[in-house]
Amino acid sequence: MTDSPILLTPGPLTTHPATRQAMLRDWGSRDKAFIALTAELRTRLLAVANGQATHAAIPLQGSGTFIVEAAISTLVRKTDRLLVLINGAYGERILAIAQRHGLDAVALRAPEDQAIDPARVDATLAADPAITHVALVHCETTTGLLNPLESIAGVVAHHGKPLILDAMSSFGALPLDLAATPVCAVLASSNKCLEGVPGLGFALIAHDALAAAKGVSPSMSFDLHAQHQGFEANGQWRFTPPVQVVAALVEALRALESEGGPTARLARYQDNLRTLAEGMTRLGFPLYLDPAIQAPIIATFRPSPARPFEFEAFYDGLAERGFLIYPGKLTREDSFRIGCIGDLHRADFERLLAAVEQVLAREPA
């Protein structure tokens, strides 16, 4: 077996061997053992966000975008108006999904390097009472920016509107307490901070919103109300589940609990980011974002204008040394990104920094 590369990406990412090991068996999708595994999955997902009393966990086959599309089209009706808060590519994607579904959607935009301002959300909701739903990206993976969830959720709840939260790159690490923070629907996937393998998204949806969503979705396979009905009826998935992905995610959720839950995971990611940011700054690559809004998920770096820098060569040099970084996603500037999440620890980042130094010095691998 060849060694896997170290993935310094926002996902799929480096997984623990026990998580990959959990995939080495076959499961009958309608057998008791897999029904129990699905039940454990749904219970554990709710527990991560303390949503047991208020929300239902609805897993769905596919990547993260699939669950975003499923949730928007299950919860927002043609007669509704969705306000999308946008400061990066994933906010733009929510808007594009709403438009593709012919929904009435309006955008409130902030620059890519600035958090969404709750006061502007408040003013927008006050000025347009026809808005029925609000969508927010918790951590904007475009840059690694953390939006102020608690204050925005407070504003949205004050106006009596449901909040749909794309928590794809924050769920499992950044704090989210559904008993304290009013969020109607939380969307995330298996292969980011939960450190599972890709192939599964899930929504945690408030029971009342879910009950009101019967027959809203124009889609058969993306209808989360129907998907939920399927689980409630017999504990089974409506259509073929990615059984190995589910097994890996349950293993990864057990590991999250053993690690000490999201608090411990966040501390590890913060340590990774600190090591990375200090080292990269020393090597001439300061963080793009103000540290006050930088989430310990993925960091954006800009090459200094003073030194010639070619991303392809930099990428290849690091790849030869076993590290896969990620291209930038800024619309206006050259940049690259390095992820802090996955089964990675400070020592991995120290080895990465040594590799960066070698590549910059054009030393042979």
Binders in 248-267 for ligand PLP, by CB under 6 A: none
3-state secondary structure of 172: coil
Which DSSP string do the residues of 250-311 spell out, in sequence order? HHHHHHHHHHTHHHHHHHHHHHHHHHHHHHHHHTT--BSS-GGGB-TTEEEE---TTS---H
Q: 275: which 2 tokens?
A: 């090591």
Q: 144: which 2 tokens?
A: 């690694």
Of these, 14, 38, 74, 141, which contacts ligand PLP (CB under 6 A)? 141
**Does 37 sit near ligand PLP (CB under 6 A)?**
no
* CB of 330 vs ligand PLP, minimal distance in Å: 15
Q: 318: which 2 tokens?
A: 């690091």
* CB of 100 vs ligand PLP, minimal distance in Å: 15
Q: What is the largest CA-CA distance in the chain?
A: 63
* CB of 195 vs ligand PLP, minimal distance in Å: 14
Q: Which of 33, 40, 48 is nearest to 186 (CA)?
A: 48
* Nearer Cβ to ligand PLP (13/356): 13
**Does 339 sit near ligand PLP (CB under 6 A)?**
no
Of these, 6, 108, 137, 206, which contacts ligand PLP (CB under 6 A)? 137
Which range, of 123-131, 166-174, 254-262, 267-275, touches ligand PLP by CB under 6 A? 166-174
Residues near 68 by beta carbon (within 8 Å), at least 6 away in sequence: 93, 94, 97, 166, 168, 187, 201
* 333/329 Cα distance (integer angstroms): 9
Residue whose tokens read 């190995």? 244
The secondary structure of residue 136, as a DSSP letter, is E
234-248 residues labelled b (16+ CB within 10 A) or e (exposed): ebebbeebbbbbbbb
* CB of 75 vs ligand PLP, minimal distance in Å: 16
* 168/129 Cα distance (integer angstroms): 28
Binders in 75-114 for ligand PLP, by CB under 6 A: 90
**Does 143 sit near ligand PLP (CB under 6 A)?**
no
* Nearer Cβ to ligand PLP (143/355): 143
Ranges of H-type helices in 76-223? 89-100, 118-127, 149-158, 207-211
Binders in 169-198 for ligand PLP, by CB under 6 A: 169, 189
* CB of 12 vs ligand PLP, minimal distance in Å: 9
Residues near 205 by beta carbon (within 8 Å), at least 6 away in sequence: 55, 56, 58, 71, 75, 184, 185, 213, 224, 228
* Nearer Cβ to ligand PLP (294/356): 294
Which range, of 74-82, 164-172, 212-220, 282-290, touches ligand PLP by CB under 6 A? 164-172
* Nearer Cβ to ligand PLP (38/142): 142
* CB of 166 vs ligand PLP, minimal distance in Å: 5
* Nearer Cβ to ligand PLP (189/335): 189
Of these, 6, 7, 9, 10, which contacts ligand PLP (CB under 6 A)? 10
Asked if 192 and 10 touch (Cβ cutoff 8 Å), the reply is yes
**Does 65 sit near ligand PLP (CB under 6 A)?**
yes
* CB of 341 vs ligand PLP, minimal distance in Å: 10
Residue whose tokens read 């029971």? 207
Of these, 112, 166, 195, 348, which contacts ligand PLP (CB under 6 A)? 166
Pairing state between β 185-189 and 6-7: unpaired
Which residue is nearest to ligand PLP, using beta carbons?
A: 64
* CB of 91 vs ligand PLP, minimal distance in Å: 8
Q: Which residues bind ligand PLP (CB under 6 A)?
A: 10-11, 63-65, 68, 90, 137, 141, 166, 168-169, 189
